[in-house]
Amino acid sequence: MSLADKAFIEMCRDILETGISSEGQEVRPKWEDGTPAHTIKKFGVVNRYDLSKEFPILTLRKINFKAAIDEILWIWQKKSNNVKDLNSHIWDAWADENGSIGKAYGYQLGIKHKYKEGEFDQVDRVLYDLKNNPYSRRIMTNLYNHHDLHEMNLYPCAYSVTFNVTGNKLNAILNQRSQDILVANGWNICQYAVLIHMFAQVSGLEVGELVHVIADAHIYDRHIPIVKELIERKTYPAPKFIINTDIKNFYDFTVDDFKLEGYEYGEPVKDIPVAV
């Protein structure tokens, strides 16, 4: 069992056994047939992943490793808000006729801000500080720009990352206001683990912990049987994460610079209903 599997199973069991249902409340999300998409939730879930021990990827089912990296590069490296720059179709439902998701995600990371050292966007400021002032307690990004929320087709879910160097290890806290546990948890953990590996490598640091803080960790009502089956499955050891160590510039990374060696996983989960 991977450490990611262990955290996922314990979290899901806790939500299912002690979580609070939204039945009887008015909820925004709907299923495709128009039925309200209710959830069972826990508030303030915190999971920790020590990246120096193993790569945190689920083996209960396959995580599309390349697609997850492609999306994180789309946001953090390309700083794009257009689905035409993305190789998957996971954002199509929130895109307009031109492919834009509005002033969200990558758009916010690409806005330049003034500092005493000059102008930086949020990503470049992180990279600058990790190399020049690594022990600063001010290294963070934030996508939740209230000024632009009305022009975002989807408010950011994973909205803030705080980076912190302890000794020679790069740690990060990922703050998420809301998470669909079945659909997004394994995906987001994989993505931000890769991001920390990238930032650490180009900054001459080792990887430390990824701490994931979820304000509203929920399982949708129609996902409950799927989750119950999933967490009873056979698990496998975590695979070996391999990164191209020749890359020294964050903007030179491509999806082909990463691979997993010995990744075993369970059967895919098919026909997951999506609430929008």
**What would the pLDDT profile of 73-124 be if each residue is shown by its tens digit?**
999 999 999 999 999 888 988 899 999 999 999 999 999 999 999 999 999 9
Quick check: is 224 in a domain? no
Active site annotation includes 157: yes
pLDDT band at residue 144, thresholds of 50, 70 and 90? very high
Dihedrals φ, ψ of 165, to 5°?
Answer: -100, 125
Residue 125 has pLDDT above 90, yes or no: yes
- Residue with more model confidence, 273 or 75: 75
End-to-end alpha carbon distance in the chain: 32
pLDDT in tens, 210-265: 999 999 999 999 999 999 999 999 999 999 999 999 999 999 999 999 999 999 99
pLDDT at 199: 98
Strands 169-180 and 206-220: parallel
CATH code, 157: 3.30.572.10
Percent of the chain with pLDDT over 70: 100
User: Is-contact 137 158, C-beta < 8 A?
Assistant: no
Is 178 a known ligand-binding residue?
A: yes
pTM: 0.96
Is 28 a known ligand-binding residue?
A: no
Quick check: is 18 in a domain? no
Quick check: is 58 in a domain? yes
**What is the three-state SS of 112-181?**
CEEECCEEECHHHHHHHHHHHCCCCCCCEEECCCHHHHHHECCCCCEEEEEEEEECCEEEEEEEEEEEEH
pLDDT in tens, 154-191: 999 999 999 999 999 999 999 999 999 999 999 999 99
The alpha carbon dihedral of 75, 211, 175, 7 has a sign of positive
Residue 130 has pLDDT above 90, yes or no: yes
* Residue 144, burial from CB neighbour count under 10 angstroms (0-12, 13-18, 19+): middle
Is 144 a known ligand-binding residue?
A: no
* Domain total in the chain: 1
Residue 126 has pLDDT above 90, yes or no: yes
* pLDDT, average across residues 58-62: 97
Strands 118-120 and 113-115: antiparallel
Residue-range definition of the domain harbouring residue 187: 42-219+239-261
pLDDT at 164: 98
pLDDT at 232: 97
User: Is-contact 64 12, C-beta < 8 A?
Assistant: no
Quick check: is 164 in a domain? yes
What is the Cα–Cα distance from 83 to 107, expressed in whole angstroms? 12
Is 48 a known ligand-binding residue?
A: no
Quick check: is 148 in a domain? yes
Location of structure tokens 């900054």: 203
pLDDT at 275: 87
Catalytic residue among 157, 194, 205, 207: 157
What is the Cα–Cα distance from 113 to 4, expressed in whole angstroms? 36
Quick check: is 274 in a domain? no
